[in-house]
Amino acid sequence: MGMSDRDPLIFAYYVTGHGFGHATRVVEVVRHLIVAGHEVHVVTGAPDFVFTSEIQSPNLHIRKDVLDCGAVQADALTVDRLASLQKYSETAVVRRPYILAAEVQWLHSIKADLVVSDVVPVACRAAADAGIHSVCVTNFSWDFIYAEYVMAAGNHHRSIVWQIAEDYSHCEFLLRLPGYCPMPAFRDVIDVPLVVRRLHKSRSEVRKELGIGEDVKLVIFNFGGQPAGWILKQEWLPVGWLCLVCGASDKQELPSNFIRLPKDAYTPDLMAASDCMLGKIGYGTVSEALAYKLPFVFVRRDYFNEEPFLRNMLEYYQGGVEMIRRDLLTGHWTPYLERALTLSPCYDEAINGGEVVARILQDTAAGKSHASDRLSGARRLRDAIVLGYQLQRAPGRDLSIPDWYTRAENELGLRPASPSAEMNGNDSLSELCVENFEILHGEVHGLSDTVAFLNTLSGLDHGTDSGKSTEKRRERNAASALFNWKEEIYVSRAPGRLDVMGGIADYSGSLVLQMPIREACHVAVQRNHPSKHKLWKHAQARQQAKGEGPLPVLQIVSFGSELSNRAPTFDMDLADLMDGEQPMSYEKAREYFAQDPSQKWAAYVAGTILVLMTELEIHFTDRLDISPRKLALLCQKVENHIVGAPCGVMDQMTSACGEANKLLAMVCQPAEVKELVTIPTHIRFWGLDSGIRHSVGGTDYGSVRIGTFMGRKIIKSEAAALLTRSLPGPNAPQGYMNHDEYEEHGIELVKAEASLDYLCNLSPHRYEAVYAKKIPESILGESFLNKYANHNDTVTVIDPNRKYAVKAPAKHPIYEKFRVEAFKALLTAAATDEQLSALGELMYQCHYSYNDCGLGSDGTDRLVKLVQEMQHCRSSHSDGSSLYGAKITGGGSGGSVCVIGKNCIRSNEEILEIQQRYYAATGHLPFIFEGSSPGAGKFGYLKLRRRQSSDTKLDL
């Protein structure tokens, strides 16, 4: 029985208020439903012509309304995360009771048989309230997109994501389109083909109407109707090319080789008539580019997590070329357009998704069940929905993963084995080898991850493995073009660190205890004369345009870039770091690197060059000899002043100065290494990754730091006032002193507190006795500035309109320093269960103090609770528990927890059990950090020379 054989049904189809892409794919589904004789009511904010140009039928009813807002875009490539959350709250949260009541009444009034949503959350709940089934059709959901925004904008918005996920959970199932993101809120999933609009005219017909010959190269410029303010120049196109511009305003002046398209132009026909497309990635552009085999030159859009999944599919089918945003805006288009013409897009999958979706919707509305046992189950996973991008990309979420979806192992939670696991029982250090390189200086220190990196490096000039993911192939191709294999290459290694105790108290001057971990970052660097640079094509084109001959260029490739949706490559002319004869200011550098969020990561690397020039007046003509401590302080300047992350220095100090199997004990005033504390042999530390991303550049970390410095300013002000009352007035006899005040406080002590440099120098008992009652729980930024002028922190800025917690952030470092000192002293105590219990208790206290500051997270709290349950459950057994404590680490608001326990087999078994329990509860399998390795200072550097092909491999 065909679709048209059914009795007429009534569909209510809700379209999200985000972009045309959703409306255009809805059109194709609705067209098939109406052809089948059904009635469709579309609720949308899109212009009528999007629907009426394709469908002329009395069975199509368009109701103008916007019940969600999607993502608020500052321009075609920039999403405003905070504004998106605020607008969604105004659109769908504040009005929610009214919306639900109105939609239930409306659905009853039209006698809807089925509600379809793409992908408006509240529509699913309204359908449930009206007693009507609902189905979602999409490749992403708003809980997934907004979860990332919540992490950046603050956890006070997380209720928005919870509500969205709850709404989606009311629908019967999800019809999932190719290019899909993880969508754990849905109970059941059915995969369908691409939904794309059909072609009306042939390539030759379109070109004839436009007056463009078949031999003219044509690019369609498609940025979702938002490029109105961009200035386009004639010389940006290769000679003889023409460009069709979508969405240009009537007032925008265009050069003669750019053709303005009408607002209601039918894009699929124009795409099929073009030779390539230049635009941003969205479902509409990607699906139609794939369907009509059109090469797509794309520019990354920041803060929209749908993009990497669509991009991966596009590139898997050989249809995409990435353009750097800087080159888009400055007109360096030619190398990208020419590259696009060499592509052969090869998408041969079905593109009849509109028909397939319409048939399933019709069957569902008529009462047929489409429940999918294969994919049903734990899709409403609260942590997975709420707590960030990486947590949602978890192993086991999908039983069948298409090739285009397969990414770097880390991205799906399938992390590579730890370096120690790379050696099986038959391996030994003597068997580790580096192929094709002669090591002229340094040693690998028996580190198998270093050997693996060197072997990866040596393989870069041997082509790529076709079995690798698209992103990895791109990284390898870009990296292989970097090096001159006849010249020397330098390699260094810096480990990550596990924050055992101290954490955010570092910027308040606390003692901290940090352990360098086994996992590390490797960097390979080569310096070449500009005449010998092997430049990427767009960099070559840029230099040729300047007409000044070879210029010094910095080119960087970042492996694993896809893990955080960032561009894998970065390049710049080194002259861009100069402002006349002097290095540019840090402020200008921060603005320079922030221009393109997908390449902002490069500030961590390129920023080191500027800091070295600025701080040490280095021009890179001589060998650098920098002590590990100085190296760490310089790296902190990069993070603070160029990246814009208001971090302390303990990360850099541990990575640079740490030693394997030792805790770096450092007083952060600003960075004095006290000693390297050997970890007792009966004690062991682990790190467990919650899967929730945290960032020291995030809102919560920064606001807590501001609150801490506010607290210090208030304490200093109170101490100064106390000092004034304790000293003689102008009319007092010489030598006068208020004896009671002196006895209670001590003039010298109060003087020290009035000039307090580091909050951690205030003891807990002085804080409680004198100042605790003076510090407010919170304060509005404007009120603080009016009373105290500033908070004297050079790396954060107070927002006058924001309320900051003060009491908890100020109290934390004062008590944390005491806890860290007690922890350090206990490490040398007798090896007893009491010792371990006391150490664990200090870690628990630290963890809950983080929570009081607002830096906790559901994932880290869950891990700490699992450790506590394991500890207390096993304590009644004869052999007792082997785990004794845990705490959140580093900047908080996600990240990892540190666990302390006995160094024994049973403790490792308990850690593995906690890992599995967390996985069962959240769908994320925590990575376990264990083991240690030397810091960058101990490792030094390797100087390598490429061996000739006739040489044999070097055994180490």
Tokens of 538: 């767009």
Q: Name the phi and psi angles at 594, rounded to 5.
A: -85, -5
Count of alpha carbons within 13 Å of 691, Cβ hemisphere only? 33
Q: Where are the alpha helices (DSSP H) in 491-568?
A: 537-546
Report d(CA 708, CA 706) in Å as an integer: 5
Q: What count of other Cβ atoms lies within 10 Å of the Cβ of residue 366?
A: 12
Distances (CA, A) of 150 to 85, 597, 740, 862: 8, 18, 52, 19
Half-sphere CA count of 480, side-chain side, radius 13 A? 15
Amino acid letter for position 848:
Y
| Residue of 68, 167, 651, 858 with catalytic role | 651
Secondary structure E strands in 700-849: 778-780, 803-805
Question: Residue 809: which of 842, 857, 760, 860 has the closest Cα?
Answer: 760
SS3 101: helix
Task: Single out the residue of 146, 135, 221, 143 nearest to residue 177, CA to CA.
Answer: 135
Residues 6+ apart with CB under 8 A from 869: none
668 contacts 649 by C-beta, under 8 angstroms: yes
**Is 651 designated active site?**
yes
How many residues belong to the chain? Answer: 956
Task: Report the side by side order of strands in the sheet with 883-888.
Answer: 883-888, 895-902, 683-692, 928-930
Q: Which residue has the tokens 């003692």?
A: 511
Residue 445: name the closest of 520, 513, 497 by CA: 520
**In 452-505, where do the E strands start and end?**
489-501
Report CA Rg, the chain: 31
Tokens (6 digits) for 512: 């901290």
Going through 502-588 in order, the beta strands assigned E by DSSP cover 511-525, 553-557, 569-573, 578-579, 582-583
Q: Cα separation of 764 and 30, whole Å?
A: 68
Which amino acid is located at 375 in the chain? L
CB atoms within 10 A of CB 860: 30
CB–CB of 910/901 below 8 Å? yes
Q: Which residues contact 51 (CB under 8 A, 6 or more apart)?
A: 23, 27, 30, 42, 44, 60, 62
Give the largest CA-CA distance in the chain.
109
* Rounded Cα distance, 806 and 853, in Å: 9
Tokens 């090469």 label which residue?
Answer: 295
Q: 195 is written with which tokens?
A: 């939904």
Nearest alpha-carbon partner for 642 in 578, 585, 589, 571: 589
What string of DSSP letters covers 717-734? HHHHHHHHHHS--TTSPT
Q: Confirm if 320 and 296 have CB atoms less than 8 A apart.
A: yes
Closest CA to 42 of 16, 72, 7, 77: 16
359 C-beta neighbours (distance < 10 Å), count: 18
Tokens of 527: 């310096």
Q: Omega before 597 cis (within 30°)?
A: no
Q: Which residues contact 47 (CB under 8 A, 6 or more apart)?
A: 263, 264
**Residue 439: CB atoms within 10 Å:** 16
Q: Which residues are catalytic?
A: 651
